[in-house]
Structure 1
Amino acid sequence: MKARVHIMLKDGVLDPQGEAVRHALGTLGFAGVEGVRQGKVIELDLTATDKAAAETEVRQMCEKLLANTVIEKYTVDIV
C-alpha cells in the first residue's frame, strides 16, 4: 500500500520560493501568473493492509515529523 502526503504552506504564510518562481515565469514571458505556492509531495511505501489504520499512522507521521503544522497544512491519500 502507498501513501501520498501533500504538504503546502498555510494561507497567509509567506512563500519566498513560490514568489521566486512567479517572478521567473514573468521574466520568461508568462505574464498571466498572479501567484505561485510551492509545496512538497512525500510518497511512502507501507506494509499496512488496513486502509484506515494506514491513514491514521501516516497522519501521526505528519504531526510528528513530516509537516511543520505551525506553518504547513497537509493531506493524506492512501493509494
Structure 2
Amino acid sequence: MARVVVNVMPKAEILDPQGKAVIQALGRIGVSGVMDVRQGKRFEIEVDETVTQEQLDHIASTLLANTVIEDYTIEVTQ
C-alpha cells in the first residue's frame, strides 16, 4: 500500500481571493513581510499496488482539480 499526496493550487495567472484575504488578515494581526499567499488543497489517498500512475493522473485531473484554473502535483510515498 502506498500513500499518494495530490496538491492542487490555482494557476499563477488566476486570482486567488482566499490568498488575498489571508494577506489582509496577516496585516490585521500585526504580521508584516509576507509578500504573497496562495491557498490550495491537499488530498491524501491510500492506494494498493494495482493503481497506476496513469490512473492517479486521471483521478487528479478529472475529480480533484479543475484543470482550467488549477494545477496539480502527485507525490507517491511508501
Letter in 1 for 2:32: A
* Length-normalised TM-score, structure 1: 0.89
Q: Deviations over 1:51-77 (max 9, x none)?
A: xx2x22111101111100000000000
Runs of 4+ in 1 over 4 A off after TM superposition: none
More helix by share: 1
1:74 corresponds in structure 2 to 72
Instruction: Spell out the pairing of 1:27-66 with structure 2 (5 A cutoff).
Output: 27-48=28-49, 53=52, 55-66=53-64
Q: List runs of 5+ in structure 1 lacking aligned partners.
A: none
1:23 corresponds in structure 2 to 24
Matched pairs, number: 76
